[in-house]
Amino acid sequence: MPNTSTPKKTVKRGGFGACFGVSLLFGMDLRRINGATVHSLNLAKALRYAGVDAQIVSFDSLKAPQALWLLKAPFAAREKTVFIRSGLPLVPVLLSRLLGKKVFLNVAALKQFECDALARPLVKISEDLAIRLSNGGVATISPHLAAYCRSRGASRVFVYPLCVDLEKFARAKPAKGKTEEKAKEKGRKEKKFVLGYVGSGDEWQGLDLLADALKKVGSEKSSEKIELRAYGSVSEERKKFFAGDPRAKFFKPVPNEEIPSLLKSFDLFVIPRPHHATAEYATPIKLVEAFAAGCAVLATDVGGVAWLARDGENALVCEASSGALAEKIIFALENLGKLASLRKNAAATAKKSDYRVVGEKLALFLEGKNGA
């Protein structure tokens, strides 16, 4: 079970004295480590570092499934200020308002684009009402989402980068790849250019784009040097996109604590997201983690990627097409020196996402001192 008792740093903040309290209503089971839970735990860690007395109220802390959590969480919140992060936020927002609490909403994605067409209108109304009724304001992770929240009547909006623990990434050593291990066993040296992918096989993750890109790269002589290592819960159906391409290797998801080392083992980390409604309003936490690992990144210019990544500066960025991805992969193979400068600049960009930096700014937002 995740440690939710991170010591807080006591600092003075305006009218709140030494620190102030916030109840973090996280609509998820924090024992199940994924992008959403990592984001939530990092937010709690960031706020505690900034001197905020942060109480976590989650599925696991209440020992309740989602339906019960929606009803119980506002009553379990001991603080007068609540920060709600849930895929179904309207009920806890309404109940918290009825209890006289100041409500802040975290919008990191829009559930309306993840549900079927029949439920979408109802989910959209629910999300829009939750945004409008959050009297403290809305904290979100991209300008695109911020614009949506403002258009739905958000009282205040604060945009922050997904936060990570830079020290943890700095300490990590590159994980050994399967190719190197097998080569060592055979007593010979074999070096591949390793493309990395970490994620699910969901349609909006873009595995089909990446598979088509690899096929296009296949006509290049240098393509024999490539090996794709994909980590995540990818179905057999999705693996068929690669049509048995021997360069593509699939592995099970790795524990979250191994992500920094895994990212450092890739020569180029790929985020091939297509123009899909879910992707357009999302910012991949793996992009920020890859920057923190000092990893060279290739990403399509979809959603929050366009906010954080600059082509040729801290990443390789292209349009969301297999042809554009193929061109960038070939460019990387032929310009290895360029990748070194991308890694350096990516690490510099990641400093803005350090949990200590984000925590201070988010605490100020909860005090009403920033956001517009």
Does residue 214 belong to any structural domain of this protein?
Answer: yes
Kindly state the helix (H) or strand (E) to which residue 249 belongs, with its residue range.
strand 248-251
- pLDDT at 300 > cutoff 60: yes
Does residue 284 belong to any structural domain of this protein?
Answer: yes
Q: In b/e form, how buried is each residue of 239-269, taking b as 16+ CB within 10 angstroms?
A: bebbeeeebbbbeebeeeeebbbbbbbbbbb
Does residue 335 belong to any structural domain of this protein?
Answer: yes
pLDDT of residue 187: 44
Total count of domains within the chain: 2
* Residue 219 pLDDT level (bands cut at 50, 70, 90): low
Q: pTM score, two decimals?
A: 0.86
Does residue 8 belong to any structural domain of this protein?
Answer: no
Does residue 1 belong to any structural domain of this protein?
Answer: no
Instruction: Note whether 94 and 192 are same-domain residues.
Output: no
Residue 117 DSSP label: T
Instruction: Note whether 336 and 212 are same-domain residues.
Output: yes
Does residue 129 belong to any structural domain of this protein?
Answer: yes
Please give the structure tokens belonging to residue 83: 């920060």
- pLDDT at 3 > cutoff 70: no
pLDDT in tens, 100-139: 999 999 999 898 988 888 999 999 999 999 999 999 999 9
Angle of helix 35-49 relative to helix 355-366, nearest 10 degrees, comes to: 70
- pLDDT at 1 > cutoff 90: no
Torsion angle in degrees (nearest 10) through CA of 240, 244, 246, 249: 30
pLDDT of residue 190: 59
Instruction: Note whether 137 and 248 are same-domain residues.
Output: no
- pLDDT at 74 > cutoff 70: yes
* Residue 218 pLDDT level (bands cut at 50, 70, 90): confident
Instruction: Note whether 236 and 330 are same-domain residues.
Output: yes
Instruction: Note whether 194 and 335 are same-domain residues.
Output: yes
Q: Starting at the earlier edge strand, list the strands of the sheet with 316-318.
A: 248-251, 226-231, 193-198, 268-271, 297-300, 316-318
Q: Which domain holds residue 308?
A: 167-352
Give how far Cα 156 sits from Cα of 45, 101, 147, 367, 371, Å: 23, 16, 11, 12, 6
Instruction: Note whether 249 and 260 are same-domain residues.
Output: yes
Instruction: Note whether 323 and 192 are same-domain residues.
Output: yes
Instruction: Note whether 139 and 29 are same-domain residues.
Output: yes
Instruction: Note whether 337 and 215 are same-domain residues.
Output: yes
- The CATH number of residue 196's host domain is 3.40.50.2000
Residue ranges in 1-152 assigned as alpha helix (H): 35-49, 59-62, 66-76, 90-98, 120-133, 143-151
Does residue 6 belong to any structural domain of this protein?
Answer: no
* Residue 371 pLDDT level (bands cut at 50, 70, 90): low
Instruction: Note whether 228 and 338 are same-domain residues.
Output: yes
* Residue 275 pLDDT level (bands cut at 50, 70, 90): very high
The mean pLDDT value for 21-28 works out to 97
Task: Output phi, psi for 288, to 5 deg.
Answer: -65, -40
pLDDT of residue 224: 66
Does residue 371 belong to any structural domain of this protein?
Answer: no
- pLDDT at 17 > cutoff 80: no
- pLDDT at 188 > cutoff 90: no
Instruction: Note whether 321 and 359 are same-domain residues.
Output: no
Instruction: Note whether 311 and 358 are same-domain residues.
Output: no
Torsion angle in degrees (nearest 10) through CA of 21, 27, 30, 34: -120
